[in-house]
Amino acid sequence: MTTDATTPSAETSTPTTSRAEIGIIGGSGFYEFFTDAEHVRVETPFGDPSDDLVLGEVAGRRVAFLARHGQGHRFPPHRVNYRANLWALRSVGVRQVLAPCAVGSLKRELGPGTIVVPDQVVDRTWGRAHTVYDDIGPVVHVGFADPYCPRGRAAVNGVVQESDLSLAETGTLVVINGPRFSSRAESQWHQQAGWSVVGMTGMPEASIARELAMCFTTVAMVTDHDAGVEGESGVTHDEVLQVFAKNIEGLKGVLARVIPALPAAASDAEATCPCRRALDGLQLPITLPT
């Protein structure tokens, strides 16, 4: 599948077997969801996505998986092509996205292994491409007051409540640029602001999904207490990976049960979720993939 190199446009040449309704953006451990997986390469007006899409079935639902950082974790958070990733998922039919990620906790009560389903986000990233409507008019202002899909969040919260995992049903995710971790002063600032968890990949992933009228739900797993939480030392990359690996099976189990719990797919014209109606009444300078 290709699109014009300069003017984004809808692309209709994707084979019907290469379609999906739900997307998962996560780490390579999620490949195990699928049997008889189909690898689909998608070219976008914004360059290549992080990796090929991997399509398969989970509980009777068609799902497309994309490794956020690529195979071998080759793209650091500030180098991930978020625009291409979301455009590629929409190109194969995805309109609902689940985005698991590892985060540091800014609250003592949110310990390692806790699942946080944020309802708000604070963007402290810089230098990333933040919009698919860049350098082409007219200007598109998309509402983002409530960044995450209410239906997706409800589905995740319902599943986690029935598990033995710790859960925070709401929270604010602050996204830093990375790839370094926060200084102690920065971490204390985030904590004093009342924010819940800190990560590096949540933006502009969520806002680009909104620009593409896609439902987007972040599922954040706490791997450590951030340096600014009283009594905590600075975290290392290896420690984050160790905790994430220890808890990945529980997170995968949650997502496997969330997928069939998500609302049935609706056409763009028939969808009623506010995420899917985010572009209503706006004049778009480009044609989105269908």
Tokens of residue 203, six digits: 């933006």
For each of the domains in the chain, give its residue range(s) and CATH number, in order of start: 16-261 (3.40.50.1580)
The residue ranking higher by pLDDT, 158 or 18, is 158
DSSP secondary structure letters along 184-211? HHHHHHHHHTT--EEESSSTTHHHHHHH
What are the tens digits of pLDDT across the range 52-106?
A: 999 999 999 999 999 999 888 899 999 999 999 999 999 999 999 999 999 999 9
Give the per-residue pLDDT at 233. Answer: 61
d(CA 209, CA 214) in angstroms, rounded, equals 5
What integer is the mean pLDDT of 226-253? 73
Which stretches of 131-251 are assigned E, i.e. beta strand? 167-168, 172-176, 197-199, 215-225
Which residues have a catalytic role annotated? 224, 226
What are the tens digits of pLDDT across the range 8-39?
A: 444 434 444 589 999 999 875 666 677 678 99
* Residues 255, 256, 261: CA angle, nearest 5 degrees: 85
Burial 7-33 (b: 16+ CB within 10 A, else e): ebeebeebeeebebbbbbbbbbebeeb
Give the per-residue pLDDT at 3. Answer: 37
State the pairing for strand pair 61-67/53-58: antiparallel
User: Is pLDDT above 90 for 243?
Assistant: no
What integer is the mean pLDDT of 197-218? 97
Give the per-residue pLDDT at 229. Answer: 81
What is the dihedral sign for C-alpha 283, 132, 289, 86? Answer: negative
Give the per-residue pLDDT at 17. Answer: 58
CA dihedral 113, 117, 122, 125 (to 10 degrees): 60
Percentage of the chain with pLDDT > 70? 87
